Homo-oligomer: A and B are copies of this chain.
Amino acid sequence: MSHINLIPGEQGIRLSTLSPKYLHTNSTSHTWPFSAIAELIDNAYDPDVDASQLWIDIKRYGTRSDHCLTFTDNGEGMDSLKLHKMLSFGFCEKVAKNDHLPVGHYGNGFKSGSMRLGKDAIVFTKQQDSRSVGLLSQTYLEEIKAQTILVPIVSWDSNGDMVERADGDKALRDILKYSLFKTEAELQEQFNNIPSESGTRIVISGMRKTQDGNPEFDFRSDIHDIRIPDDVESESNKYRRQERQNHIPESDYSLRAYCSILYLRPRMQIILRGKKVRTTVIAKSLSKTEVDTYKPQGTSKPIKVTFGFSQNKNHYGIMMYHRNRLIKPYVRVGYQLRANDFGVGVIGVIQCDYLKPTHNKQDFDYTKAYRSSMSALGSKLNDYWNEKKGKAQTNSNALIPEPKEVESVPDQLWVQCDNPECLKWRKLPASVKSEDLPEKWYCYDHPEKQWRSCDVPEELEEEKEEAVQPYVKKQKKRLEKELEEKKRREKVNRSL
């Protein structure tokens, strides 16, 4: 019996090995292409890299390729060991840095994401004392008829000398033969494309095409966006995510729109095809905002749920974040699941760190804790609606009048400083309107003097005792007060 194709492990115990075909297998959990892109954005965002800026671009390399996708960040960069782990499976060593929790957890994002977008990826990464390049390529592995996944990696030290020359020479030979870059000079040029001392650049080529031979993405309709094309030329056939019923949020088909809500509290600028993504802090863009709380079973601290009315009343539901990263947007709950107009326009924002995201980070593991959360969020949304709009009829079949038009002015206007070293969020006074803001805004533009410097710490969100009390309780208190007041007055009247 022969085991020649499978590498034996240490101490006679066999290793589980990886077939090159597994690169595709592993990518099949990303059914939505932006879900794959988000994995690469997370890698730049996470605290081990902690980039303050990420550039996403498309690029052709000479006559050699169709469009490639490039991701370039100004973060920490990697040494060759870390790069090797990135090109391996399940090695996640990300840890929290202060309040910055890593999104990555499974050690799989780069592989599943990049191999979903294209057949081949090459990673350039530099630190002060090293430059490394690594290749993860299905085309390469097919051409050399590899039995397992090989990942050529070359490193140079700060003097430009190759590290581990014996192995490096062979790896370099394969990279120059099988990647888009045919000379050492071309490789070095890619390092120079990283605009800071340290950082990482990823080039994805062999991009996936649709069955009719067209690129999966539409790069033309908006030169500052990457979009998923409509299925046919008609408004109603806009690309929509599978779970949508009627309204299609722009984030389903516009990468710019998706990036603008990808993080609950953005801490990294994303520059998409040359133009900065203007981030939206959802919870701060709502009107008639109320804060409720939810205490999941087995946790000690209640979690904040912010409800409010969306500025676009067609897009509503719960925005579910996990460790600051959007997992499920616009999830309808409570009244919103019924075939009437109750709950329309209401957005809820919650950060569910107590739940576990699935393989593709677009859903949560479907546990009892998840189901309880959804049910609780449904009742809370109903409470909010009842308070703001009057109690709904329990008979859901009755014909129900259209709810009154929603106010579209957000309760607060926040803006983020464009200085990449700062990126703080500032609350503006009520007199400033969103449409009056310049394209680029810096702390020194603030109308109020005390905030007019990047050195001033960010204003804390209201965490007053009252704010974390469920507003239903608050309402009860108010009613109790009114009742007391009434009694008092009656008493006074009687005594007169």
* Interfacial residues, chain A to chain B (CB-CB below 8 A): 1-3, 6-26, 28-29, 31-32, 79-81, 84-85, 87-92, 106-108, 136, 148-153, 155, 163-164, 166-171, 174, 210-212, 231, 241-243, 245, 297-298, 337-339, 356-360, 363, 365-369, 371-372, 399
For the complex with contacts A16-B148, A26-B108, 17 further pairs of A-B residues with Cβ separation under 8 Å are: A6-B85, A7-B9, A12-B166, A12-B169, A14-B151, A15-B149, A16-B18, A16-B87, A16-B149, A16-B151, A18-B18, A19-B88, A28-B359, A31-B365, A241-B366, A242-B363, A245-B337
Given A163-B1, A358-B31, decide whether A366 and B242 contact each other with a Cβ distance below 8 A.
yes
Interface of A is mostly: loop
Given A1-B80, A12-B170, A31-B365, decide whether A18 and B89 contact each other with a Cβ distance below 8 A.
yes
Contact B366 A81 (CB under 8 A): no
**Count of identical protomers in the assembly:** 2
Contact A107 B358 (CB under 8 A): no
A24: which B residues are within 8 A, CB to CB?
Answer: 106
Q: Tell me, in angstroms, the Cα distance from A370 to B91 when the chains sit together.
A: 34
A13: which B residues are within 8 A, CB to CB?
Answer: 150-152, 167, 170-171, 174
Partner of A1, one of B91, B155, B369: B155
A23: which B residues are within 8 A, CB to CB?
Answer: 90
Contact B29 A29 (CB under 8 A): yes
Contact B31 A81 (CB under 8 A): no
- 27 A-B contacts (beta carbon < 8 Å): A1-B79, A1-B80, A1-B163, A2-B81, A3-B80, A3-B81, A3-B84, A6-B81, A7-B7, A9-B148, A12-B166, A14-B151, A15-B149, A15-B150, A16-B148, A17-B18, A17-B91, A19-B89, A20-B90, A28-B356, A29-B358, A31-B363, A211-B367, A211-B369, A243-B243, A338-B339, A359-B359
Q: Tell me, in angstroms, the Cα distance from A14 to B358 when the chains sit together.
A: 29
Q: Tell me, in angstroms, the Cα distance from A107 to B21 when the chains sit together.
A: 9
Contact A28 B366 (CB under 8 A): no
Q: Tell me, in angstroms, the Cα distance from A90 to B22 when the chains sit together.
A: 4
